[in-house]
Amino acid sequence: MEVAPGEAVGLVGETGSGKTMTVRAATGLLSAAGGRVTRGAITIDGEDATAATEKAWRRWQGKTLALVPQSSMSSLSPLRRVRGQLAETIRRVDRAVDLDDQIAGLLESVHLPVTKEVLDSYPHELSGGMRQRVMIALALAVKPRLLIADEPTTALDVAIRGEILELFGELRRERKLALVMVSHDISAIAAATDRIVVMYAGQSVESGPTGSVLPDPGHPYTEALLAAIPQRTPPGLPLPVVSGQPPRPEEITIGCAFAPRCPKVKDACRNQTPAPVVVARGGQVSCLLAHRPDPQAPSKTEAKVR
């Protein structure tokens, strides 16, 4: 996958599909998690980051990219007040700045009131939405050009979720910030991103413009994932569920990783690894059936119930 300056990309897939691992690789946190790159490359602004040293990564982490981790409660220090958390990050990037000025600016940009009450709060004294804003303020403290947010809205309720998504939109417009949003919340992805990448079993199986992939998914996995959205089934009826589990990493051998669960599987899928195919509505689909759509196929809205 790639992200252009100012672009917003959504990364979706079920738990264990490799979303968070992808984010770690792209932010230099792979080795800390005990992983390493075995093939392919990570490129940042044309520079090869695949084998970059900790020091080189720190330079990128300090100004090019910033991560908003998944759990605000466990990523903020429980022992430090909001002011202290922000001050530490700001100083790490720039020792010369006026701290109070910077802190006020950051809080304002995430629409938190610059009051003693907020500045002196410990993380547990803030609501979930406020903590998420503090996390985003911390990420912005390094003045990144790319913000990577891992499940930024999952723990939030509808109203707060809307506000956080609005905030991302505003930051993109005002700071020309690029955004990668990892989420299993499809409606958040729909609202906040230009392009979508769907992952399954550690691979990108489909990508393309968000506005065309969601109404017209090209990969049977994407189709199955979208069919599980409750709104797409009348109340009280069972939701379409793909039987089986995603494969464990050691189980992926030859053929399409989704073949064992795929409702449209053909013999060829089991012994031929699908290459990405460029599709007419924009984007790529890694499925052997992708380039020859069946005109007799049922429409996308009539998902099969099993």
From residue 70 to residue 109, the character string flagging contacts with other proteins as x (rule: CB under 8 A) and all else as - is ----------------------------------------
Least distance (Å) between residue 68 CB and other proteins? 18
User: Which of 8/214 has CB closer to other proteins?
Assistant: 214
Work out how close the CB of 103 gets to other proteins at its nearest, in angstroms, rounded to a whole number. Answer: 26
Cα distance from N-terminal residue to C-terminal residue, the chain: 33
- Nearest approach in angstroms of CB 160 to other proteins is 7
Q: Using an 8 Å Cβ cutoff, are 133 and 54 in contact?
A: no
Interface with other proteins (CB under 8 A), residue from 122, 184, 194, 216: 184
Query: Parallel, antiparallel, or unpaired for β 195-200 and 203-209?
Result: antiparallel
The residue length of the chain stands at 306
**Conformational region of residue 220, where left means phi above 0, alpha means psi within -120 to 50, and beta covers everything else:** alpha
Sites for other proteins among residues 17-46 (CB under 8 A): none
Binding flag, residue 249, other proteins (CB under 8 A):
no
CA distances (Å), 155 to each of 5, 127, 150, 161, in order?
28, 11, 11, 9
Helix (H/G/I), strand (E/B), else coil: 74 = helix
C-beta closer to other proteins: residue 14 or 194: 14
- CA atoms of 34 and 25, how far apart (whole Å): 11
117-156: contacts with other proteins (CB under 8 A): 127-129, 154-156
Alpha-carbon span 265 to 243, nearest angstrom: 13
- Here's the x/- map for other proteins, 217-246, by CB under 8 A: it reads as -------xx--xxxx-x-xxxxxxxx----
Q: Which residues bind other proteins (CB under 8 A)?
A: 14-16, 127-129, 154-162, 184, 186-187, 189-191, 214, 224-225, 228-231, 233, 235-242
